[in-house]
Structure 1
Amino acid sequence: MRLLQKNLWMIAMSLAMASAGHAAPLVEPTLHIRPQASGAGRVALTLDACGGQTDSRILSALVDNKIPATIFVTGIWLKRNAAAVEIMRAHPDLFELENHGGHHIPAVDTPRKIYGIRSAGSPDAVLAEVESGAAALAGTGEPAPKWFRGATAEYSPSAIAMIRKLGFKVAGFSINGDGGSLLGAKETARRIAAAKDGDVIISHINQPTHAAGEGVVQGLLALKAKGLTFVRLDDAEGIGNNGTTE
């Protein structure tokens, strides 16, 4: 009996490995905004609030310098950062809050790990992640979100199709500003300051102890000094690939 159970387990493991090996490759969508017809150009700043706390260096710089941003928030972050949410809600001209999922689970409908984070693993779990994120935002009194960005910003193509059917656009990016908040201040500032007309920047606002936060502020102020305009995703026409915005 034990031998039979062992054989069945080995068969199941072999099937699982074969399935993982043939799973559709993941995609990391890009996103640009429609370039400006005149002037120095405009860029869209997007900041992920995955969990943890709030980087007050970034939040204060945005308010003080009147820099608009689209903040992708998880249900986890919303529960822990009521004061920051109130500051954002007090400046509706600057901040647009969008859906980063309920529990910061990658929107991938097959079992695997992305950057060490376990994926949703099934269509139902992807659906639950997206809808719980939207529900968490609704609980704050914010308008219904129009955009979704999953944890790790990588997706299975079938998950993208599912998210689009729910009515959300999927937010890619064109410049990875802070490397998941793991880059140093100098490199983060350099990447962000290099943004051009039409770029969509991704960085993080939930790691107040990381050096990257200082670089985010430096890079944004450098762009402002060049005369670039900042816009939220809802205030510009986003153009994404992989079926994310069409």
Structure 2
Amino acid sequence: MLRLILALLVSVAVAAPAFAGKDGLMEPKLALSGRQSGAPRVALTFDACMGAADQRILATLVDNAIPATIFVTARWLKHNAATVAVLRAHPDLFQIENHGAMHVPAVDKPVSIYGIPAAGSPEAVMAEVRGGGDAIMALGLPAPHWFRGATAKYSTSSIAEIRSLGYTVAGFSLNGDEGSLLGARMAAHRIASARDGDVIIAHINQPTHAAGEGVVQGILALKARGFTFLRLDDAAETGSNATVN
């Protein structure tokens, strides 16, 4: 009975909407759905915002044949051709999706989020989304259909604007590295503590940060626990705030 109650509480927590904060913005939730039996599953998602690439994480994914969804910006693509070549060489592992053109928060009002000025208008939101998608397709990669904006925060109206361009908005249920600002031990603990159905967000563009080491440790701990790793296109999802379906 206790196990059933806990399971129900987990399902309610996953399905609950992301309520707007004081700034009126939301951080949507996303989780995998549909498992009836078998190994627990998680989806690893990584943001490649700008700067370089964390080869510790990339090598771990390749060496262990662990699939992941990588959200890239046009800015990051310009400076990481060698890493993009690795991603392209493993289409069975890596799903490349849209993180925007310039890593500008996809919010249609003039606010600052974590010190980053938002797009500020519907037109600017659409330019950020289109620019990211165009950069991916310019490299001959498959057209993206998932979008995650910088900071992963949105207004209700900006979610609708992104959806009108044909994208599904990628939230998450577990923040693995807090923007790559966590120490290695904490990042490892967070990811290793994932539950079945979690969509994990972490960053693959900070090779000098300690968090990357922890991300690797956490991933390998999940593998040792028998978890199955899925890309976002490999399973059905449940999302809050009209971001999915």
Counterparts of 2:36 and 2:217, CA distance in 1? 27
- Relative to the length of structure 2, the TM-score reads 0.90
- Match status 1:80 vs 2:73: no
CA distance in 2, matches of 1:101, 1:58: 22
Q: Which runs of 4+ in 1 moved over 4 A?
A: none
Q: Which amino acid aligns with 1:144?
A: A
What letter is aligned with 2:46?
Answer: L
Rg bigger for which structure?
1
1:56-75 aligned within 5 A: 56-75=55-74
Q: Residues 24, 54 of structure 1: CA spacing in aligned structure 2 closer, same or farther, 3 A cutoff?
A: closer
Corresponding residue for 1:124?
123
Give me the whole-angstrom Cα distance separating, in 2, the residues matched to 1:236 and 1:89: 22
1:187: which partner in 2?
186
Partner of 1:25: 24
The CA distance in 2 between the partners of 1:237 and 1:132, in whole Å, is 27
Q: Alpha-carbon deviation of 1:39?
A: 1.7
* Count of residues in Structure 1 that have an aligned counterpart in Structure 2: 224
* SS of aligned partner of 1:230: strand
| Local SS of the residue matching 2:143 | coil
Structure 2 SS opposite 1:70: strand
**CA deviation profile, 1:190-235 (whole Å, cap 9, x unmatched):** 0000111110000000000000000000000000000000000011
Q: Tell me the distance in 1 between the aligned counterparts of 2:76 and 2:146.
A: 17
Match of 2:33? Answer: 34
Counterpart of 2:243, as a letter, is T
Superposed, 1:60-209 pairs within 5 Å as 60-209=59-208
Unaligned regions of 5+ residues in structure 1, if any?
Answer: 1-22
Deviation at 1:238, TM superposition (A): 1.7
For residue 36 of structure 1, report the CA deviation from its aligned partner: 2.1
Return 52-61 or 233-242, whichever deviates more: 233-242
Normalized against structure 1, the TM-score is what?
0.90
The equivalences for 1:204-223 within 5 A come to 204-223=203-222
1:161, 1:214 → 2: CA distance?
Answer: 37
**CA shift for structure 1 position 183:** 0.2
Deviation at 1:38, TM superposition (A): 1.4
Aligned pair 1:49/2:45, yes or no? no
SS at match of 1:72: strand
Asked if residue 236 in structure 1 is aligned to residue 235 in structure 2, the reply is yes
In 2, the alpha carbon distance for the partners of 1:231 and 1:208 equals: 24
The DSSP-based 3-state class of the residue aligned with 2:160 is helix
Alpha-carbon distance in structure 1 between the residues aligned to 2:211 and 2:151:
17
Percent of aligned positions that are identical: 66
Q: What CA distance in whole angstroms lies between the structure 1 residues aligned with 2:226 and 2:242? A: 32
Alignment-derived partner of residue 3 in structure 1: none
**What code does the residue aligned with 2:227 have?**
L
How far residue 40 of structure 1 moved from its aligned partner, in angstroms, is 2.4
Q: Is the 8 A contact 2:184 2:214 kept in 1?
A: yes
Structure 1 contact 35–41 (Cα < 8 Å) conserved: no
| Secondary structure, aligned partner of 2:200 | strand
**Structure 2 portions without partners, runs of 5+:** 1-21
Helix, strand or coil for the counterpart of 2:120? coil
* One-letter amino acid of the structure 1 residue matched with residue 99 of structure 2: H
The aligned residue for residue 10 of structure 1 is: none
Structure 1 position 35, deviation (Å): 4.4
Partners of 1:36 and 1:205 lie apart in 2 by 28
Q: What does the per-residue CA deviation read over 1:150-209, in whole Å, with 9 as the maximum and x for residues that have no partner?
A: 000000110001111111000000000001000000000000001111100000000000
Measure, in 2, the Cα distance between the counterparts of 1:166 and 1:24: 25
Structure 1 contact 24–157 (Cα < 8 Å) conserved? no
Amino acid at match of 1:228: F
